[in-house]
Chain A
């Protein structure tokens, strides 16, 4: 599947997310009506349905909630990248996202280990990937 199917790349509601990503900043949405934070970006607050959502930057730090390495049967556009490791990261600020975890030592990945956001260009988009946090096994020195 091509990224061109991700219509959020050109959609006004998600511009705050992708523009921040291009600056190397991870941003989440904040609902001005009910006060909840959310990721992924949506047109409405998933909690209360309000439309007055604003973007705010987060630290890019979190923990590895879970991970799975794809070794076969990948979607067409990703076959060349196998093996790659998908992950769910829980941000220190609360929201979770599906992402990639890149590590020099995949065997050292553990649930709940600290991770940090790094941005990678892929197919015309700047995507928030994660790596083990600095100072942990497999992370940047």
Chain B
């Protein structure tokens, strides 16, 4: 007997460098925010699912050993305490697992959360971490592969094939920054221009520093329960309409076409399951951490034709007030990169828009949203379509 699940509550702490903020403080804060937001009593939670923490291996280990069950006062009421790790796709995986557990009747109320503290690492330790995390260890790392070269290689090929100018990649950073300037929890909120982006140092050609992202500390959480329970708890439950996912390869250079990846396959699956088309999407929440992939995703998901996304962004259509509001939390370039949790935060932002709780950056009347996630060397392409009403 299948039943519907819904997201009922969300929580999030500010992203940035907060050396004095402990990981447990982040985890407890976002958990309690999400429970309070959804009107859920902590004793109702029977399932606790956690994203990985990359920068503190011992905190990460503790999560699997039920540390948060004690810290959150959930002894004996939680029946499943488990980590879900799909790298940058963890937000998508958490949603899928939580909804599946609720809809199959195995769980009544699932709390999903993430906490990360990259200030535990120095800048160089961060570069070294991401020279291994998501990088083919045996046959790519020995050449000096750096994570930022992934979007660099992609952009070089994409610009060659489509004729897209570098200025249009800069426009993506600028549009995301404009959204982030309206987001109290974003790491970088100072408005910037295309000229600023192009004046920043080239890090991995053809990409400038302001087309990349900065590691930060942060965390977020969400609560999933049954549709029946959701209706008694909140005016604004959020429902999953459709999902499309592809897992391809561990090794970046093994993608058949780095300028397309598998986004059209994932998108087609999600649109088909949701029974909608790109024209129906009110807000597009891309988490992909680099401007080049914004353009690719917009095209491959059918929001515009191949090679036209850059002009769409340059025309302001993805900015506040545009026809295709995109990445309203600023994506990792402006929101800050909090490891496995950017995708969780993007899901939280998606729900926030559909709950009409996004404050200054609320997209008026947003009722259907599409969100993306990806992990590793873009091993995953995850698309989910969510709605304000049950499908």
Instruction: Report which A residues bind B (CB closer than 8 A).
Output: 1, 3, 5-8, 14, 40-41, 46, 65-78, 81, 84, 86-88, 96-100, 110-112, 122-123, 125, 127, 129
Which of B14-22, B201-209, B343-351, B364-372 lies on the face that meets chain A? B201-209
Q: Pick from B137, B141, B144: contact of A70, CB below 8 A.
A: B144
Judged by a CB distance under 8 angstroms, whether B58 is at the interface is: no
- Contact flag A86-B137 (CB < 8 Å), given A1-B131, A71-B203, A96-B253: no
Residues of B within 8 A of A (CB): 124, 127-128, 131-132, 136-146, 148-149, 152-157, 160-161, 201-207, 209, 249, 251-254, 258
Residues of A within 8 A of B145 (CB): 75, 86, 98
Decide if A68 touches B153 in the complex (CB within 8 Å): yes
How far does the Cβ of A39 sit from chain B's closest Cβ, in whole Å? 8
Are the CB atoms of A40 and B128 closer together than 8 Å? no
| The one of B142, B207, B249 that contacts A122, using a Cβ cutoff of 8 Å | B142
For the complex, give the distance between the alpha carbons of A111 and B205 in Å: 13
- CB pair A75–B128 under 8 Å, yes or no, is yes
A5 lies within 8 A of B153 (CB): no
Q: What's the nearest-Cβ distance from chain A to residue B388, in Å? A: 41
Among candidates B124, B153, B202, residue contacting A71 with C-beta atoms closer than 8 Å = B202
Question: What residues of chain B lie closer than 8 Å to A87, measured between beta carbons?
Answer: 153
With a cutoff of 8 Å between Cβ atoms, the chain B residues found around residue A123 in the complex are: 142
Chain B residue numbers with a CB within 8 Å of A67 are 153, 156, 205
Q: Which residues of B contact A65 (CB under 8 A)?
A: 157, 258
Shortest Cβ distance from B124 into A: residue? A76
Contact (Cβ within 8 A) B252 A75 = no
Q: From B146, B148, B202, B251, give the contact of A40 (CB < 8 A).
A: B251
A42 and B134 alpha carbons, distance in the complex (Å): 17
Are A84 and B144 in contact, with the CB atoms below 8 A?
A: yes
Q: Provided the pairs A67-B156, A75-B127, A75-B131 are in contact, do residues A100 and B143 lie with their beta carbons within 8 angstroms?
A: yes
With beta carbons under 8 angstroms apart, the residue of A8, A69, A70 that contacts B139 is: A8
CA distance A98 to B254 in the complex (A): 8
Asked if A75 and B202 sit within 8 Å, CB to CB, the answer is no
The answer on a CB contact under 8 Å between B132 and A98 is no
CB-defined contacts of A6 to chain B, threshold 8 Å = 137-139, 141-142
* Cα(A74)–Cα(B127), bound, Å: 7
C-alpha gap A137/B155 in the complex (Å):
23
A77 — which chain B residues lie within 8 A by C-beta?
A: 144
Q: Beyond A40-B136, A127-B142, is A66–B258 a contact (Cβ under 8 Å)?
A: yes
What are 13 A-B pairs at a CB distance below 8 A?
Answer: A7-B137, A8-B139, A40-B136, A41-B139, A66-B258, A71-B203, A72-B203, A78-B146, A98-B143, A98-B253, A110-B160, A111-B157, A122-B142
Which 6 pairs across A and B sit closest by C-beta, in order of nearness? A68-B152, A75-B131, A78-B144, A8-B138, A66-B157, A98-B253
Q: Across the interface, do A98 and B138 meet the contact criterion of CB distance under 8 Å?
A: no
Q: Is the CB of B138 within 8 A of A74?
A: no
How far is the CB of A84 from the nearest CB of chain B, in Å?
6
Contact partner of B148 among A66, A73, A88, A97, CB < 8 A? A73
CB-CB nearest in chain B for A9:
B138
Instruction: A3-B142, A5-B132, A86-B152 given; name 6 further pairs at CB < 8 Å.
Output: A40-B136, A68-B205, A68-B206, A86-B146, A86-B149, A100-B144
Cβ contacts under 8 Å, B160 to chain A = 66, 110-112
Contacts A66-B258, A88-B253 given; does A97 touch B139 at CB 8 Å: yes
B123 — nearest CB in chain A belongs to which residue? A73
Q: A86's contact among B139, B144, B161, by CB below 8 Å, is which?
A: B144
Which of B155, B161, B253, B258 gathers the greatest number of chain A CB atoms within 10 Å?
B253
A123 nearest CB neighbor, chain B only: B142
Rounded to whole angstroms, the CA-CA distance of A112 and B161 in the bound complex is: 11
The smallest beta-carbon distance between A130 and chain B, in angstroms, is: 10
B202 to chain A, nearest CB (A): 5
Task: A7 to B141: give the CA distance in the assembly, Å.
Answer: 11
**Given the complex, which residues of B lie within 8 Å of A81, measured CB to CB?**
144
Chain A residue numbers with a CB within 8 Å of B154 are: 66
Residues of chain A within 8 A of B124, CB atoms compared: 76
**A5-B132, A8-B138, A76-B124 as given contacts; A69 in contact with B143, CB under 8 Å:** no
CA distance A94 to B300 in the complex (A): 25
**Nearest chain A CB to B162's CB is how many angstroms away?**
12
Set of chain A residues within 8 Å of B209, measured between Cβ atoms: 72
CB distance from A21 to the nearest CB of B (A): 11
Q: Given A3-B142, A98-B139, verify A70-B204 contact (CB < 8 Å).
A: yes
Q: Which residue of B lies closest to A96 (CB)?
A: B253
Which chain A residues border B206 with CB–CB below 8 Å?
68
Please, which residue of chain B has its CB at the minimum distance from the CB of A99?
Answer: B143
- CB nearest neighbor in A for B141: A1
Q: Would B153 and A97 count as touching, CB distance under 8 A? A: no
Are A68 and B149 neighbours in the complex by a CB distance under 8 Å?
Answer: yes
